[in-house]
Amino acid sequence: MAVSSGLQFFRLNIPKRIIIFSKSRLLCSTGTCKLSSIASSIQVRSYSDKKFKILPLDPIDHHEEKFDKILIANRGEIACRIIKTCRQMGIKTVAIHSDVDTTALHVKMADEAYCLGPAPTNKSYLNVEAILDVIHKSCTQAVHPGYGFLSENMDFAQTLEKMGIVFIGPNWKSIAAMGDKIESKRIAANARVNTIPGFDGVVKTPEECVKIAKEIGYPVMIKASAGGGGKGMRIAWNDKEAIEGFRFSTQEAQSSFGDDRLLVEKFVDNPRHIEVQVLCDKFGNGIYLNERECSIQRRNQKVIEEAPSTFVDEKLRKAMGEQAVALAQAVGYDSAGTVEFLVDSKKNFYFLEMNTRLQVEHPITECITGVDLVQQMIRVAKGHKLKINQNDVGINGWAIESRVYAEDPYKNFGLPSVGRLYKYIEPTHIPNVRCDSGIQEGSEISIFYDPMICKLITYGSTRNAAISTMIKALDAYVIRGVSHNIPLLRDIMTEKNFVDGNLSTKYLYDVYPEGFSGKKLSDSELEHLASLSGCIFVKHETRSAHFLNQSQPPLHSTLPTDWNLIAEINGRKVELMVTERDHTFQVTVNDKTIVIPVDIHLSAPVLETTIGGEPYACQLIKHDGAGNLRIRFAGTTFKVRVLTEIAAEYERIMPEKPEKDVSKVVSAPMPGLLKSISCKVGDTVVEGQEVCVIEAMKMQNSLVIGTTGKVKYVHCEEGDAVEEEQIIVELE
């Protein structure tokens, strides 16, 4: 499937054989291709060079009545994603943006664009009055809200309806019913949907939260009644955590959704998070488009999703799907939506919530079903019936989505990073890769919005094929200027539990109990990285010695034929001897000879080579000419020092630099806004005590002191914007 940023034709590589089409299945006469139920409406557009294209289940009908102009009430990748489908449908688009997003990609892609105001969301993307003014100025007929921001805002949808503007999403009554987690649980129970035990009402005080939690039995989940996306959610295992959870969930809910109401329910320990995509029209028709596995999460936010799930069989899929559709129809739902379930080890499933909008991870459903969900949302909003029946929906292959974030994965699995992307290359040259992004080289990641860079989707006829392609794509993805979570994503792709499909919502914390610290190199991988580093060192030295148009001859007119080097990686030293012979580097390491082609392009963004016969795609991020290298190898960036024997001898007699004591200071782990400071100069604080709270990307983070002492300085005030590693509190 060579798929560009928007939903395009699926292209599968299949041996050239006789293809037989039946009503419900595509068959290969030799049995080499096995694709499950594909609808009769699928057509073959071309078949040559071992490739064929499959049209979506419901191709765009340009004779069908459509909107003339749609406003996209969002930003970033989802705005770009919607604009692409609108272009294919022949619909003009209007973009809105804050002042810091003036040069954003979605602004450039749209037919018209209007600035709403300053960067803070309440003055721009949540500024309803300003958006309504743009709708009037642009003569917009409909609004697509994407996800987040106003996508599940009942009042916004209702206001548009009164104005005669179409909201491309469910009707406001459905949003009201499902957007309130308390009400949605009641409706789900009445619709005979399996629900989680919990308190069916609003929790008003920390004391009441503790009382209810004890009655339900720990652990419990404390979460915002409105909204979603992991914001305003905390797990509590005891009274203390219940009080803290109430406090932070209330603050996050108010900040993110303008609604601080909370509910408490039983926390299902060690479950899978599986969701079902539903699609309904205004005529009572509803279908489900299979499930998505979303169990790999941190802080209740998804990291990797896949469709279908390795855990779900046909019986479970049917049961979950039918309950999801029943719930949607119980509230008169009329758009694309997602019903989320928690599933335990015995395949018991419980309703979690319904997201009345387009989900972030919708592309993987599009890949395995051939249904463009944005197109269907627009059709339904215009008043058209679904052309797809439940029997048409099959599972064609496997799709995986990795959420690429501007985050430091070494800090609690991902604390936000900000900066400008001075180099950015997406791996779209790799077959079966789709990149949904809203940024480009030169874009800036700021503290005001979600730190997502891209949704990287790979597709294959099998799960193993999709994983293999994801590994290649992550290795070839070039992102410079901000920290990113590709090291974590890449490591997960080869981790045994993930490969075997043994997942739960505790996956990250079970696999990395001490946090993520980067790729753990095996002995052979260490030798390969050391060998490559040695070859880069020799290549650089050789190139420098033969540099043309020098004003004076090089200091060394001759170079050694054998280079005796020492490579140091993560404190481990590897002795190498590098010899150039027959257009290859022959590297002797630990009595082995590793061969690397000599044509290593040091300036290439991605170094595609073989090491000992094994293919690698690495990135040389930095080389200072003195043997200090930074190389992205198997997803993780390693600092490597390559020294000659004489340089290593000099280094042995150099004094060691003392480590700095940081236990007496509290520094910002990420850029953000200082929401509160709970100490002042002269106070005595104890180890582990909270001294301040930082908010970044609408998530609040409690910072604690590392030792007991008296406060000497408080360098910031509440409301200040702080940079990463900026000192906030300092002890005597």
Asked whether the beta carbons of 393 and 289 are under 8 A apart, the reply is: yes
Per residue, the 3-state secondary structure of 140-162, as one string, reads CCEEECCCCCCCCCHHHHHHHHH
Query: How is residue 473 written in tokens?
Result: 């794509």
* Annotated catalytic residue 353: yes
d(Cα 283, Cα 711) in Å, to the nearest integer?
A: 66
192-211 exposure pattern, b = at least 16 Cβ within 10 A, e = fewer: ebbbbebbeeebeebebbbb
> Within the chain, what is the greatest distance between any pair of CA atoms?
87
- Please identify which residue in the block is written with the tokens 């990609």: 105
Q: Note the helical H segments in 518-676.
A: 523-545, 645-652
CB 461 within 8 A of CB 447: no
Ramachandran bin of 369, using left for φ above 0, alpha for ψ from -120 to 50, beta for the remaining angles: alpha
CA 650/CA 573 separation, integer angstroms: 16
Residues whose CB falls within 8 Å of the CB of residue 111, separated by 6 or more in sequence, listed in order: 69, 92, 93, 94
The two tokens of residue 246 are: 């109430």
Residue burial 488-522, b: 16+ Cβ < 10 Å; e: rest: bbbbbbeeeebeeeebbbebbeebbeeebebbebe
Positive or negative, the Cα torsion across 159, 165, 167, 173? positive
- Hey, how many other C-beta atoms are within 10 angstroms of the C-beta on 725? 11
Kind and range of the H or E run holding 189: helix 181-190
Residue 666 and residue 729 in contact, taking contact as beta carbons nearer than 8 Å: yes
CA distance 211 to 208: 5
Q: What's the burial of 313, exposed, middle or buried (CB within 10 Å: 0-12/13-18/19+)?
A: exposed
Tokens 């390693």 — which residue?
638
State the distance between the two ends of the chain, measured CA to CA, in whole angstroms: 61
**Cis check: omega of the bond before 219, within 30 degrees of 0:** yes
How far apart are the C-alpha atoms of 555 and 534, rounded to whole Å? 21
Q: Which of 353, 426, 541, 568 is catalytic?
A: 353
User: Is residue 402 a contact partner of residue 470, using CB atoms and an 8 Å limit?
Assistant: yes
Catalytic residues: 353
